[in-house]
Amino acid sequence: MPVRVRLAPSPTGYFHVGTARTALFNWILAKQDPEGVFILRVEDTDPERNREEWVEAIYAAMAWLGLDYTGPFRQSENAPSHAAALEALRAAGSLYYCDCTPAEVDARKGAGAPPGYDGFCRERGLARSARTALRLRTPDEGVIVVPDLVRGEVAFQASAIDDFVVARSSGEALYALANVVDDRDDRITHVVRGEEHLANAPKQMLLWSALNAATGLEVPPPVFAHLPLLVNEQRKKLSKRRDPVALEMYRDQGYLVGAVLNYLALLGWSPRGEDEIVDMATVVEQFRLEDVAHSPAFFDVRKLTAFNGAYVRALSPEGFAELCRPWVDPGEVPWRPSGYRPAWDEDHYDADLFSRLVPLIQERVARLDEVPAMVDFFFLDAPAHDEAAFDQAVRRDPLGRAVLEAAAGAYGALEGFTAEALHATTLELAGSLGLTLRKAQAPIRCAVTGRLVGPPLFESMALLGRERTRARLAAALARA
């Protein structure tokens, strides 16, 4: 039987990095089977919380990740099938109407009682009304076994599962039922999702058997695979409220999709051998659900960033330059990071110059959004004024001014304004002042680039040109 998997996100907020990992694992499974199918199904059955912009965010995220799928489908489109399933279950006696409000249930149980429905309406034989929800009659004893490829068989006490609601009083199916009906209709073979859904699995198993019994169908239920949760430093499930979970944010910060995918694959799984930097083809080749770890994984941005740096360095210079454009090119570009503000005017930007800068900066950034600050002094009339740096390297340094004066003179007399010549000359003037090159380059760097760290100084000055370099040395002298 060909693998049929799905991603079933709800459009209630940003596309979560955890959703991205779930998507990736599902996609991998489908890719491993020549006939595998990966479905994207947007679970939009809660009109209260859904927003169309979040639906778009799901599509955008999937497109960026490059995970191809069948669809997208909307759960709401399958409402007729949900209704038919509801009717079949009701006719078979698996369901009953309930008009209890949560407050009423709580009141009956008394303050401080454990949560859960008390079965009050189970035998009341209520008829449908505008305020009756439909509940599933669940078994009171026995165990429900959930087949799980990651964890083995997980057994649940039936007594701990109360009669849950499958349809709102409005008549619409709820997630619990809609999800199962859709998985049945889509002939899903593997339900791969986060561990927060593990507790739903026994309920869904119950629904599967009730549904098959009520409809006379014999669709085999899927096998489950509950992936370890992604957690924050406090070991809590990543939350949209306080953790940086929006996939979009990582794209905005200049994380490369390959690095993100690679890192995500390593959360709960690891490739054979010692190399952790692996391409998706390798992952598809080696991945097995049975090998997925059982314990929660901390989403470590520092490691992601280290991976990103490796991916950035592996780019061709041309590829790197192209990928940098959303951050550095004020003109027309394929897309923009949210909150983008041009770092310099369009008429100051020089794509050709930037491409010559690439070798100086590519191995120095781990994220693409670091690039503007690294090259701004080329595209700005005056370099950034980091006063603290200027104080340290020029004003407070007893020889700061002397170095700048010597450089201004020596650079003016240079025959060829090349990196090699600048290097040699600077070495010389440093020596005559009794300084090491390391010490002497600081005030010059600060005067020319505005900063204490940046791309190699002599190469930078050569590209900047004699006039602009000397003008900056003079300007710095005037400020010192």
Partner RNA sequence: GCCCCCAUCGUCUAGCGGCCUAGGACACCACCCUUUCAAGGUGGCAGCACGGGUUCGAAUCCCGUUGGGGGUGCCA
- In whole angstroms, how far apart are CA 340 and each of 252, 336, 385? 9, 6, 22
Alpha-carbon distance 467 to 103, whole Å?
Answer: 78
Structure tokens at 122: 């189970």
The least CB distance from residue 345 to RNA, in Å, is: 26
Query: Residue 239 and residue 204: Cα distance in Å, rounded?
Result: 25
Taking CB under 7 A as the rule, which mask of x and - marks residues 301-340 in contact with RNA? Answer: -xx-xx--xx--x---------------------------
Burial of 362 (0-12, 13-18, 19+ CB in 10 A): buried
Stretch that binds RNA, among 93-101, 213-221, 319-327, 332-340 (CB under 7 A): 93-101
Residue 295 binds to RNA (criterion: CB under 7 A): yes
Polymer length in residues for the chain: 480
The DSSP call for residue 77 is G
Q: Is residue 240 annotated as part of the catalytic site, yes or no?
A: yes
Provide the H-helix boundaries in 34-101. Answer: 52-65, 79-91
Whichever of 252 and 459 has its CB closer to RNA, that residue is 459
Site residues for RNA, window 367-396 (CB under 7 A)?
A: none
Buried b (16+ CB within 10 A) or exposed e, 363-384: ebbbbbbbbbbbbbbbbeeebe
> Which position among 5, 7, 21, 45 is part of the footprint of RNA (CB under 7 A)?
45
170 binds RNA (CB under 7 A): yes
133 forms beta bridges with: 98
Q: Which is nearer to RNA, 117 or 250 (CB)?
A: 117
Interaction between residue 107 and RNA (CB under 7 A) = no
User: 85 and 215 in contact (C-beta within 8 Å)?
Assistant: yes
Residues 430-459 that bind RNA (CB under 7 A): 437-438, 441-442, 445, 452-459
Identify which of residues 5 and 154 has a Cβ nearer to RNA in the complex.
154
Dihedral class, residue 157 (left if φ above 0, else alpha if ψ from -120 to 50, else beta):
beta
Which CB atom, from 24 or from 100, has the smaller least distance to RNA? Answer: 100
What is the footprint of RNA within residues 121-150 (CB under 7 A)? 131-133
How far from 480 is each of 370, 382, 436, 446, CA to CA, in Å?
28, 15, 21, 11
Stretch near RNA under the rule CB under 7 A, chosen from 189-197, 321-329, 350-358, 378-386: 189-197
| Minimum CB distance to RNA smaller for 199 or for 477 | 199
84/217 with CB nearer RNA: 84
Is residue 153 helix, strand or coil? strand
**Residues 31, 109, 240, 303: which is the catalytic one?**
240
Cβ-contact 466, 414 below 8 angstroms: yes
Q: How many residues bind RNA (CB under 7 A)?
A: 93
Nearest to 384 by CA among 301, 299, 456, 472: 472
Give the residue with the Cβ less far from RNA, 275 or 415.
Answer: 275
Which residues in the 406-435 window bind RNA by CB under 7 A? Answer: 419, 423
The nearest distance, CB 444 to RNA, in angstroms, is 9
8 A C-beta contact, residue 354 and residue 443: no
Question: Which parts of 258-287 interact with RNA (CB under 7 A)?
Answer: 266-270, 274-276
Binding mask 48-87 for RNA (x = CB under 7 A): xx-------------------------x------------
Q: Is 9 in the site for RNA (CB under 7 A)?
A: yes
Determine if 223 is a binding residue for RNA (CB under 7 A). no
Q: Which residues are catalytic?
A: 240
